[in-house]
Amino acid sequence: MSRVALSLLSLLAALLFTEVASAHGERNQEPFLRMRSAHFFDVTWSKTKLAVNEEIVVEGKFRLFKDWPVNLPKPNVVFLGNGTPGPVFARVESWINGQPAIQSMALKRDRDYTFKTVLKARIPGRHHVHPMLNVDGAGPLLGPGDWVEVSGRAADFKLPVTTLDGTHIENLEHWATGRVKAWHAIWLVIALAWLGYWIRRPLLIPRYVALREGNEKALVSHTDLAVGAGLIVVVVALVVGGFVYTEAEYPRTIPLQGGRAVVEATPKSDAPVTVIVDRATYDVPGRSMKIAATITNGGQHSIQFGEFATSNLRFINRAVPAAVAHVDPRYPKELLPRNGLKVADTTPLAPGETRKVELEMTDAAWETERLTSLINDPDNRVGGLLFCYDDRDERLVANVSGSIVPVFMDVASAQMRMTH
Ligand SMILES: [Cu+2]
Find the 25 Cα to ligand 1 centroid distance in Å.
7
Specify whether the CB–CB gap between 312 and 331 falls below 8 A. no
d(CA 44, CA 119): 13
- Listed residue (317, 334, 339, 335) closest to 326, CA to CA: 317
- Listed residue (317, 314, 313) closest to 344, CA to CA: 317
Find the 312 Cα to ligand 1 centroid distance in Å.
11
Find the 232 Cα to ligand 1 centroid distance in Å.
53
Q: What is the fold, at CATH topology level, of the domain defined by 20-164? A: Jelly Rolls (2.60.120)
276-297: pLDDT as tens digits: 999 999 888 888 899 999 999 9
Tell me the H-state helices in 250-302. Answer: none
Beta-strand relationship, 313-316 and 303-310: antiparallel
d(CA 144, CA 59): 11
Find the 246 Cα to ligand 1 centroid distance in Å.
43
Q: Determine the pLDDT at residue 414.
A: 54
Which residue positions in the chain have pLDDT lower than 50? 1, 14-21
- Is the full-model pTM beyond 0.85? no
Q: Determine the pLDDT at residue 419.
A: 53
DSSP symbol at 102: S
Find the 365 Cα to ligand 1 centroid distance in Å.
15
Q: Determine the pLDDT at residue 272.
A: 87
Find the 331 Cα to ligand 1 centroid distance in Å.
14
Q: Determine the pLDDT at residue 21.
A: 46
Residue 79 CB-density burial (10 A; 0-12 exposed, 13-18 middle, 19+ buried): middle
Find the 5 Cα to ligand 1 centroid distance in Å.
25
d(CA 259, CA 105): 9
Q: What is the dihedral of CA 40, 44, 49, 55, to 10 degrees?
A: -90
CATH number 2.60.40.1580 given to 273-419: yes
Find the 40 Cα to ligand 1 centroid distance in Å.
14
**Backbone dihedral region for residue 98 (phi beyond 0: left; psi -120 to 50: alpha; all else: beta):** left
> Coil, strand or helix: which one is 21?
coil
d(CA 40, CA 313): 10
Q: Determine the pLDDT at residue 390.
A: 92
> Coil, strand or helix: which one is 342?
strand
Tell me the H-state helices in 76-214. Answer: 177-199, 204-212
Find the 418 Cα to ligand 1 centroid distance in Å.
46
Find the 58 Cα to ligand 1 centroid distance in Å.
14
Class of domain 177-249: mainly alpha
Find the 145 Cα to ligand 1 centroid distance in Å.
5
Q: Determine the pLDDT at residue 10.
A: 53
Domain range list for the chain: 20-164, 177-249, 273-419
Find the 31 Cα to ligand 1 centroid distance in Å.
16
Find the 129 Cα to ligand 1 centroid distance in Å.
6
Find the 128 Cα to ligand 1 centroid distance in Å.
5
Q: How many CB atoms lie within 10 A of CB 26?
A: 20
Find the 22 Cα to ligand 1 centroid distance in Å.
8
